[in-house]
Structure 1
Amino acid sequence: MQTVEVAASASENQRRDANVARLVVGREQLLQFGDTSLSDVLKRQPGVSVVGNELRLRGLGNGYTQILLNGDPVAPGFTIDSLSPELIERVEILRSQTADSSAQGIAGSINIVLRKGIHSAQKNGKAGITESGGHWSPQASLELADKFDNGLSYSLNLAVIRSHSGAEPVTSERINDAAGNPAILRAFHEHYQFDTDKISVAPRLVWALPAGDQLAWQNWLDYSRSHMAGANTETTLQGSSSDYPQNDYRFAADILSWRSDLSWMHRFNAGMKLDTRLGGQYNQRNSDYYFDGFPAGISTPFIRNVVSDAIDQNLISSGKLLYRLNELHSLAFGWDGGLIRRSEQRLQYDRNVPDNPAGSAGFLDENYRADVRRLALFAQDEWEFSPRWQAYMGLRWEGLRTVITGRTITETQTRSSVFSPVFQTLWKLPGTEKDQLRFAISRTYKAPETRNLVPRRYTVNNDNNPNNSDFQGNPHLLPELAWGVDVAYEYYFSAQAMFSLAAFLRRIQNVTTYTLFQQDGIWITTPDNRGRAQVYGLEMDSRFPLIFWFSQAPAIDVRINAARNWSRLDSVPGPDNRLNNQVPLTANLGLDYRRSETHTLGMNFNLQTAGRVQGSAVLSTYKSVSRTLDWYSLWKLRKGTQIRLSVSNALHQPVISGQTYFDPETQASMQRTTRTPGQSSVKLVWEQAL
């Protein structure tokens, strides 16, 4: 009988042996389906949900899930899909806090690690094309890496993408009187097209210095140019129309993102090591928005032109001194600080202003600057008491100071600081090599977003109402504070098979909610700190080869995961008073079939529920269930050459979302529902070793 030995992947070993709860998504998983966006990759991971392009743990977004890039919090202007999976080495999903990373992850943290230098030369190229809704999007990428005898190694990853997309959402609006009868019925038919050209490059240099020291210079540059054009036509079925029943718009934006950091690792002796890093991030967005709105029965349009630019700058300094007492016990001390500066200027020009004489004009010149200074000090202790019991203890102090100034706003300053103790332990059960338990308790917080602090009005162009209101920041917002507990049971059947079941609980105070009010006939939404919330849930993850259970089964690997989340906000009446539109359930079923040595194919079915959420006493929202089916087929033609065919969103299910306003005094109500048709995409990629 032939003996076949299969070793566990590096990511599985990291998950099993780490003394902190960490799930690692390796490069093979990142590229498996040929995705062009990172959110499409991570939606298949246990406990991760995606709303729009926002990544969520525990079903919570809007700042509850912290996004890190090489271990540092991303700048405010960062978008997750600006990073191509081709540029990423791995993604780490941390469900509980560690002392050496920022404590701003109440739901958990997702750390994106860019490509590193390698030990052997590589030259790989890819070229592909994607079709979606009749739009064609080409793309190409290049990977170069080598190592020289003098200790210098380098890597260069380049990705170029041209994407074309479009959609035709339909929005219906119904306003009922006190008796529940419809007073106004409207339908809005919108059509828009969105085009983007993007180039991303990530060079890295690493010097291996004498005595084991290392110097590394990591860079990432992303530039995109986008253009959007759309038109909206209103059909008034009953009652009056909106201000501009016929309107169209154009939007253009140039976005430049750059990040660079220099890290130095120095060994003092066999038991002491210093890691330091100095870096910077820069993000600039220049945009031009043009709106034409035609009032009913009037041929002269209302014109609004908004030109704006926003710049985010981030300076980062961090260091960690690791002192290894022995092979089983180590201490670490360090700092983590930075300065984030966001400046924005907005020029708005209105012509033919409503309710003013014909030809009248309005001009608005706004700018503001927000400086956020962050400093953190931490200490941590990692101790392997025995081969079966490991513990991690840490304490982190993190302080924030925010100063906001502007042309049309009063200078405001806020200060906050948080002590964040953390304890995690791993216990491998006696008498077995397969079972282990994890436990963690930590304190985390969520700082207010800069946009929510700036007391500036963001206006809607048409149909201002309770379901489509203006937004205004609140400079008096406080951080949300949380205590959290995580427990998990893990069972490793073999090198390729495992099962885990985890539970979590979060108690949050100073929860940010949104207040709706009317001022001079204009509806406005503003954030505020109100009440407490409890968040809790269960998560299951399992993966195994089918042959593990059935000896005659084909070579199929199975992945199954599911997460059920609950929350309750005490300042909002129930039912459905969930926190921040929390996603209640996410689940994935994945299959990978090795048909032969040269052909592999697989699929993934993703389920994400939503439903009704009572956001305040007068406002509720609704979103439909999302079902997504993706599949891929990979052919290895010869050594170094392969073709990948993939289909995303094969079910092309429509997305339905809505919002309802109920006035308890007049008993009137307003409902607004949008239905966006789903679209599938087909992608073909040629991959070649050069």
Structure 2
Amino acid sequence: MSSAHASDPGDIVVVEGKDSDLHKQFVAGKLIVGRKRIEESGGKTVEEVLRKEPSVTISSNGRLGLLGLPGYTQILVDGAPGSTGRSPLELDVVHIERIEIVKTSIAELGPYGTAGTINIITRKIARLSLTQARLGGALGARDHAGNFSWSSNHPGTFFSYSLQASGGYQRRSSDSETSVLRDAGDALPLQQQTANSRNTTDTPRLSTSSSLSWAIAKGEKIELSPSILWFKTTSNVDEYSAWAAQYQPGRPTHSESQSDQDLSTISIPLKWSYRPDKDTQLSLRLLSTQSRVASLLDRRDQIPAQSDEFRQSNQWMRMHNNSLKFDFSQGISASHELKAGLTLLNNRTWTDLANLRDKEFESSFDTFGRAREAIQRTRSYFLQDEWKISEEVSTNFGISGELRTTNMAEGEFVSASRYSVAAPSAHLAWKIDGSDRKQVRASVARSFKAPFLDQMVVRPVINPMAACPSKNECLTNAPEYADTAGNAQLKPEKALGFNLSYEHYFGKETSLTIELFERRITELVVNRIEYASVPWSRARRYVQRPSNDGDARLQGLSLEGVLNAREILAESPKIEMRGGVTFARSHRTDLAGADNHIPDQLPWRAKLGITYDMESAPLQFGINANWEPSERIQISDLRKSIIDRNFELGTEASWKIDQKYRLRFALENIGKARRRQADQYFETSSVVSKETVRHTAPKLGITLDIKL
């Protein structure tokens, strides 16, 4: 348990000491990345900070997660799902107070998070008046960026406030080469297609937030924390393709496309909290978020022996999210606390859609209409009992649950889904000999993975390499050019998780953690490619859809360590090392073969970070590395993927000019020049191999931190 009550995950736990001291107090092993470590990391976003944490793994496509399972890692903001349409990992650290990491499921964080939860706590009012600013930029052969952030904190006796603002601009460029071979078995493989593409993405962004706090009576407080976010992403893709003669008719040889996504969000959280005594706390939080997203795609295809084709795919979306969250905590004694919570959430999304070809609406989409409305209502609860039974033994028992209904209307398709889940959990911490230096933790928890709304949308995305040759009719396609569509009747995946860990502290920071984990997943959501009759084509088409099909089992072992050299040898240089390695294996019952593991799960992965502080000068140097082996995975009966091994290396340096100014340098993507992915598609009488190579380049970043 912590030494201060915090029934709302957004509350600041006021405890003196380092992040490791806080970690020892939580029965379920909650890891804390505090404000001090966030600032020292030099990261500009939550993602950049977490990339250096040993407990956070990086997948082959760059996604962050826990236990090597990014798709099963729950990411929350102040204990609730983010609702802005932008990934919470992209939040600028100027808006962040701390980050909590739990590699299991606990009741107060809800029934989701099969691999665990990353909970991002937004910036609150600190005890000291302080103004900070950060200016930065990055330059590389393919990327460049500029950014700024500013925060000002003003505490008071009855009224306090803080202000934050951040913004920037980023340009990313990437090149890729694709080769498609068809092997029918009776001759040499045929080069079906070769393609070269260049993608340039520009992203300006701006966000502001504030926190206003009134102490209206003793133990009673009201907080208002409005925020505004705007960003725009513009991507330009230029692609040249060469086709074998028998595949060329109707195929584009040169394509140009531009996509724009413009998002603006305003969020207004209002929170009332009341603490009648030191053992009891109540809070009520109202949150209203309004978002608008415009997504526009223009594409021009040059096709031999015919005029150019122009296609547009546009969406205008409005999202209204409103929630009411009630939390209660009661301290039964200094070592025993009960928590409970109830959340009511209503999400409503209106989307206007237009698919045009040569400025006329494509009739293939008529059955799906030109508008979509989705209403999602969620009722969730939790009850948790955390008890320090003795100096040696502490427990955490709880249950969380949710009832969710989703109603969606897409032209002629009207769907309704409803499900309820209940997730009990139990955690035990045993301090050997009553000491914080040696501790065993054990957890068993039921958890779920809810389907995303996008996975339930039945309106298809037609593959541009097998687009409909006329406005009124689609022809058949091939598995390597499959369309994609959702499934309105998707259900949550169920999982039963076990964790067993041993922590040994050799000093205040130097530690070693060994953890065994297992996940048993049922009603697994998999993406299957099927050849079927579809509403948007008279001919049958290959289409990829998600479905609850099969079970899976994952077992693994992780080792994480922190080494402060001076805690081992007082005369040593001021060096700190943080690293981790994870070994895992998984098996899916819905597929046969040796490569039928869960996507993104690798046999092993490792990361290492080293920091060196000079004593003769105010300089700090660091190096960060991440290793992943090649990945072979059977996606479905018709598709297998092979992804090359990955090695990421970055270096950084920090110069503390004086108490107010610090200059940082970072060099990323060292030696990472290319990444290859090969996909195999199995047809009735042939195998199609599709290989894509993407190129990257090093990037140099410079940041100036200012404290006023």
Shorter-chain-normalised TM-score: which range?
over 0.9
State which of 198, 213, 221 in structure 1 corresponds to 2:228: 221
Corresponding letter in the other structure for 2:424:
P
1:276 equivalenced with 2:289 (yes/no):
no
Q: CA deviation at 1:76?
A: 7.8
Name the counterpart of 1:389: 393
State which of 238, 249, 252 in structure 2 corresponds to 1:244: 252
Secondary structure of the structure 2 residue equivalent to 1:650: coil
Quote the Cα distance in structure 2 between the aligned partners of 1:373 and 1:361.
33
Quote the Cα distance in structure 1 between the aligned partners of 2:362 and 2:572.
76
Name the counterpart of 2:331: 324
Greater displacement, 173-182 / 64-73: 173-182
Quote the Cα distance in structure 2 between the aligned partners of 1:468 and 1:107.
32
Name the counterpart of 2:694: 676
The CA deviation string for residues 514-564 of structure 1, in whole angstroms up to 9 with x for no partner, is 221224242211111111111221111111212333444211111121122
Q: CA deviation at 1:392?
A: 0.7
State which of 84, 92, 95 in structure 1 corresponds to 2:92: 84
Q: CA deviation at 1:245?
A: 1.5
Corresponding letter in the other structure for 1:474:
N
Name the counterpart of 2:642: 622
Secondary structure of the structure 2 residue equivalent to 1:548: helix
Secondary structure of the structure 1 residue equivalent to 2:255: strand
Secondary structure of the structure 2 residue equivalent to 1:15: helix
CA RMSD in angstroms comes to 2.3
Secondary structure of the structure 2 residue equivalent to 1:457: coil
Secondary structure of the structure 2 residue equivalent to 1:458: coil
CA 1:313–1:57: 2 relative to 1, 3 Å: farther
Secondary structure of the structure 1 residue equivalent to 2:501: strand
1:444 equivalenced with 2:474 (yes/no):
no
Greater displacement, 442-451 / 337-346: 337-346
Q: Would the aligned equivalents of 2:24 and 2:436 in 1 still touch at CA under 8 Å? A: no
Quote the Cα distance in structure 1 between the aligned partners of 2:420 and 2:363.
46
Q: Would the aligned equivalents of 1:627 and 1:653 in 2 still touch at CA under 8 Å? A: no
1:164 equivalenced with 2:171 (yes/no):
yes
Name the counterpart of 2:471: none
Q: Would the aligned equivalents of 1:301 and 1:352 in 2 still touch at CA under 8 Å? A: no
CA 1:258–1:567: 2 relative to 1, 3 Å: farther
Quote the Cα distance in structure 1 between the aligned partners of 2:376 and 2:333.
40
Quote the Cα distance in structure 1 between the aligned partners of 2:418 and 2:359.
44
CA 1:560–1:291: 2 relative to 1, 3 Å: same
Secondary structure of the structure 2 residue equivalent to 1:40: helix
Quote the Cα distance in structure 2 between the aligned partners of 1:371 and 1:363.
22
1:105 equivalenced with 2:147 (yes/no):
no
Identity among equivalent positions (%) equals 22
Q: CA deviation at 1:26?
A: 2.2
1:637 equivalenced with 2:657 (yes/no):
yes
State which of 594, 597, 609 in structure 1 corresponds to 2:629: 609
1:465 equivalenced with 2:468 (yes/no):
no
Q: Would the aligned equivalents of 2:111 and 2:422 in 1 still touch at CA under 8 Å? A: no
Name the counterpart of 2:432: 429
Secondary structure of the structure 2 residue equivalent to 1:386: coil
Q: CA deviation at 1:87?
A: 1.8
Name the counterpart of 2:153: 145
CA 1:537–1:342: 2 relative to 1, 3 Å: farther
CA 1:438–1:178: 2 relative to 1, 3 Å: same
Greater displacement, 253-262 / 417-426: 253-262
Quote the Cα distance in structure 1 between the aligned partners of 2:633 and 2:531.
22
State which of 478, 490, 493 in structure 2 corresponds to 1:480: 493
Corresponding letter in the other structure for 2:327:
K
Q: Would the aligned equivalents of 1:162 and 1:196 in 2 still touch at CA under 8 Å? A: yes
Q: CA deviation at 1:200?
A: 1.4
Secondary structure of the structure 2 residue equivalent to 1:462: helix
CA 1:391–1:538: 2 relative to 1, 3 Å: same
CA 1:155–1:195: 2 relative to 1, 3 Å: same
Q: CA deviation at 1:582?
A: 2.4
Quote the Cα distance in structure 2 between the aligned partners of 1:566 and 1:275.
43
Corresponding letter in the other structure for 1:654:
R
Q: CA deviation at 1:136?
A: 3.4
1:402 equivalenced with 2:406 (yes/no):
yes
Q: Would the aligned equivalents of 2:356 and 2:362 in 1 still touch at CA under 8 Å? A: no
Name the counterpart of 1:591: 610
Name the counterpart of 1:686: 704
- 1:481-500 to 2 correspondences below 5 Å: 481-500=494-513
CA 1:126–1:432: 2 relative to 1, 3 Å: closer
Question: How many residue pairs get matched?
Answer: 673
Q: Would the aligned equivalents of 1:59 and 1:584 in 2 still touch at CA under 8 Å? A: no
1:60 equivalenced with 2:60 (yes/no):
no
Greater displacement, 229-238 / 337-346: 229-238
Q: Would the aligned equivalents of 2:392 and 2:434 in 1 still touch at CA under 8 Å? A: no
Secondary structure of the structure 2 residue equivalent to 1:430: helix
Q: CA deviation at 1:93?
A: 1.1
Secondary structure of the structure 1 residue equivalent to 2:169: strand
Q: Would the aligned equivalents of 1:565 and 1:584 in 2 still touch at CA under 8 Å? A: yes
- 1:230-241 to 2 correspondences below 5 Å: 230-236=237-243, 240-241=247-248
Secondary structure of the structure 2 residue equivalent to 1:273: strand
Corresponding letter in the other structure for 2:574:
A
Quote the Cα distance in structure 1 between the aligned partners of 2:52 and 2:31.
13
Name the counterpart of 1:119: 127
CA 1:689–1:37: 2 relative to 1, 3 Å: closer
Runs of 4+ in 1 over 6 A off after TM superposition: 359-363
Quote the Cα distance in structure 2 between the aligned partners of 1:531 and 1:219.
44
Q: Would the aligned equivalents of 2:202 and 2:235 in 1 still touch at CA under 8 Å? A: yes
CA 1:82–1:604: 2 relative to 1, 3 Å: closer
CA 1:143–1:433: 2 relative to 1, 3 Å: closer
Corresponding letter in the other structure for 2:609:
G
Q: Would the aligned equivalents of 2:527 and 2:547 in 1 still touch at CA under 8 Å? A: yes
Quote the Cα distance in structure 1 between the aligned partners of 2:561 and 2:210.
36
Quote the Cα distance in structure 2 between the aligned partners of 1:496 and 1:444.
32
Name the counterpart of 1:505: 518
The CA deviation string for residues 436-490 of structure 1, in whole angstroms up to 9 with x for no partner, is 0001111111122211212211112124531231111112222211111111100
Quote the Cα distance in structure 1 between the aligned partners of 2:155 and 2:434.
46
Q: CA deviation at 1:54?
A: 3.4
Q: Would the aligned equivalents of 2:82 and 2:88 in 1 still touch at CA under 8 Å? A: no
State which of 192, 205, 214 in structure 2 corresponds to 1:207: 214
CA 1:545–1:180: 2 relative to 1, 3 Å: farther
Q: CA deviation at 1:610?
A: 4.5
Quote the Cα distance in structure 1 between the aligned partners of 2:143 and 2:382.
51
TM-score by length of 2: 0.91
Quote the Cα distance in structure 1 between the aligned partners of 2:272 and 2:231.
31
Name the counterpart of 2:82: 74
Quote the Cα distance in structure 1 between the aligned partners of 2:568 and 2:362.
76
CA 1:390–1:673: 2 relative to 1, 3 Å: same
Quote the Cα distance in structure 2 between the aligned partners of 1:205 and 1:140.
23
CA 1:53–1:283: 2 relative to 1, 3 Å: farther
CA 1:360–1:277: 2 relative to 1, 3 Å: closer
Greater displacement, 222-231 / 77-86: 77-86
Quote the Cα distance in structure 1 between the aligned partners of 2:690 and 2:230.
36
1:562 equivalenced with 2:576 (yes/no):
no
Q: Would the aligned equivalents of 1:132 and 1:165 in 2 still touch at CA under 8 Å? A: no
Quote the Cα distance in structure 1 between the aligned partners of 2:337 and 2:363.
68
- 1:565-576 to 2 correspondences below 5 Å: 565-576=584-595
Greater displacement, 482-491 / 205-214: 205-214
Q: Would the aligned equivalents of 2:110 and 2:401 in 1 still touch at CA under 8 Å? A: no
The CA deviation string for residues 8-41 of structure 1, in whole angstroms up to 9 with x for no partner, is 9531111112122211122343344533343232
Q: Would the aligned equivalents of 2:107 and 2:425 in 1 still touch at CA under 8 Å? A: yes
Name the counterpart of 2:472: none
Quote the Cα distance in structure 2 between the aligned partners of 1:272 and 1:88.
27
Mind listing any 5+ residue stretches in structure 2 that lack a counterpart?
Answer: 1-14, 467-476, 533-538
